[in-house]
């Protein structure tokens, strides 16, 4: 049995966590028979980070459908849309006759089960760390039969991040990352963006939270007094933060070190894709220049 078929033949519907130590444990599920197309493979992708990875490895020719969030590279915006990340139109997906559907985790776990019931091969890829992202790239390379290109990309990223890890500083700036404003939500060090902040040389004020992405109390941000505030969602301005009750005394507010989506492209730090290298560089510039 080929590596690709080994990924795409398991009928066990349990979602297996992505492990860096064994590529055979990547969370890919499918039906027992694969639908073949005389025109070659046809991919529907619901995860923007997976769309970026496949575009980097193989290009866009085999991608026949994406969700609205799959907007990079820009040419993907011309592909047929199958809904949004949180609400995929299953009928539109079926009409595109995909041979493989690439999904993510979180609310898309149930989506993968639905496609499996319809006898459509489904590959859930949900990297939650840099190591898992690199492992995912290699796994995707096997699935789409582009192992050499995928390995080159993965190894290149591993080397870059190895260099990043060597960055040292005596004083790390304290950083508050806000991913949502109503309710206020932040990230722990265990989250992907928490890891990116650490690699860039920042000290996340909420290193420990009940979940990787969790609601927090406004007064806790005031107490922790971050030197830098990063806002990753649209429609929020620095002035809105300064106007929050009690926040005017926070160091980041007093020193105008509040950065919105106009300053840092959130896709570069939220998506586990090769572009995260640019995200680390942008954060490092904010933290130290």
pTM for this structure?
Answer: 0.85
Query: Residue 155 gets which letter from DSSP?
Result: H
Q: What's the total number of domains in the chain? A: 2
Note whether 87 and 223 are same-domain residues: no
Is residue 138 in some structural domain?
yes
On whether both 187 and 117 belong to a single domain, the answer is no
Q: 198 is in which domain, residue-wise?
A: 174-288
Q: Within this chain, do residues 145 and 278 fall inside the same structural domain, yes or no?
A: no
- Could you list the pLDDT tens digit for every one of the 289 residues in the chain? 455 554 554 433 333 334 333 333 334 433 333 444 447 899 999 999 999 999 999 999 999 999 999 999 999 999 999 999 999 999 999 999 999 999 998 778 888 888 888 888 999 999 999 999 999 999 999 999 999 999 999 999 999 999 997 777 778 999 999 999 999 999 999 999 999 999 999 999 999 999 999 999 999 999 999 999 999 999 999 999 999 999 999 999 999 999 999 999 999 999 999 999 999 999 999 999 7
166 located within any domain? no
Q: Of 161, 192, 208, which closes a domain? A: 161
Strand ranges for the chain from DSSP E? 43-45, 63-66, 83-84, 87-88, 100-103, 122-124, 174-178, 180-181, 184-187, 203-204, 213-215, 228-231, 258-259
CATH of the domain at 234: 3.40.50.1980
Question: Is-contact 258 238, C-beta < 8 A?
Answer: yes
* Domain finish residue from 136, 161, 186: 161
Please tell me whether residues 70 and 99 are part of one structural domain.
Answer: yes
DSSP structure class, residue 152: H
Query: Cis omega before residue 218 (within 30°)?
Result: no
């Amino acid at each position: 049995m080929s590596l690709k078929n080994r990924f795409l033949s398991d009928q066990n519907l349990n979602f297996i966590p992505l492990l860096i130590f064994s590529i055979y444990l990547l969370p890919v599920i499918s039906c027992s028979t694969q639908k073949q197309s005389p025109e070659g493979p046809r991919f529907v992708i619901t995860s923007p980070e997976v769309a970026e990875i496949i575009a980097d490895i193989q290009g866009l020719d085999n991608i026949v459908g994406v969700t609205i969030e799959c907007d990079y590279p820009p040419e993907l915006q011309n592909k047929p849309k199958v809904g949004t990340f949180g609400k995929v139109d299953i009928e539109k997906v079926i009409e595109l006759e995909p041979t493989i559907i690439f999904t993510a985790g979180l609310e898309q776990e149930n989506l993968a089960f639905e496609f499996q019931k319809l006898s459509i091969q489904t590959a859930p890829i949900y990297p939650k760390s840099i190591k898992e992202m690199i492992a995912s790239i290699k796994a995707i390379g096997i699935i789409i039969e582009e192992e050499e290109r995928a390995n080159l990309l993965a190894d290149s990223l591993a080397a870059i991040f190895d260099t990043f890890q060597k960055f040292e500083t005596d004083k790390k700036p304290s950083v508050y990352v806000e991913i949502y404003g109503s309710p206020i939500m932040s990230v722990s060090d265990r989250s992907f963006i928490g890891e990116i902040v650490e690699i860039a040389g920042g000290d996340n004020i909420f290193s420990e939270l009940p979940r990787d992405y969790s609601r927090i109390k406004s007064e806790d941000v005031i107490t922790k007094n971050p030197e830098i505030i990063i806002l990753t969602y649209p429609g929020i301005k620095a002035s809105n933060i300064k106007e929050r009750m009690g926040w005017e005394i926070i160091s980041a507010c007093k020193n105008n070190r509040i950065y919105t989506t106009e300053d840092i492209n959130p896709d570069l730090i939220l998506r586990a894709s090769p572009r995260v290298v640019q995200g680390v560089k942008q954060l490092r510039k904010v933290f130290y220049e």
